[in-house]
Structure 1
């Protein structure tokens, strides 16, 4: 749903899957549900990404606040937000002079974030 215009917007693909979760004794404790939001965009020209150093403290706080990960746990440090490159893309452009809201990367990010927000809390189908 586009919150600014109250219109339904499409996303190219939403893939859903659940996996059973077990405690340390092998007893089932629930399921882990994963939703993958995919938006495809055609970019007719070169694209440029600007990278900056990753704020690992903020990344760790995010990982620990939004899932089963805890601070000072070896599995937390293996999370892909923390274990991959020490740099992250902060800015992008595909053509000079184009407004940010007209950038294909901005549109794709906006669409998948809106899709995630609209499906948050809903049961996996």
Structure 2
């Protein structure tokens, strides 16, 4: 079932988080598959990105890149949480959960994707 995120800033931040997670997977993990899911659960919009690549390296190394910091910043900007987890067998999962915005968009011009 499609998930509509009518709040343009929220939609833009979720899009950019997904974009960065996919970019990181392609650049660093050499995955065969990347799966993106957008769903609602318990009054929240949940974005999940999962790959079957080599997984995260040591935690200290993962913190050196700016991409993860930006994803955390974007999640925080829309009152959300972001979790980045190494999967037990192979791969990485990124989950961003934000409060579900109202069905009607906020007043003002639509956000532009930069």
Alignment TM-score, normalising by the size of structure 1? 0.29
Q: Could you say which structure has the larger radius of gyration?
A: 1
Structure scoring higher RCO (CA < 8 A, sep ≥ 6) equals 2
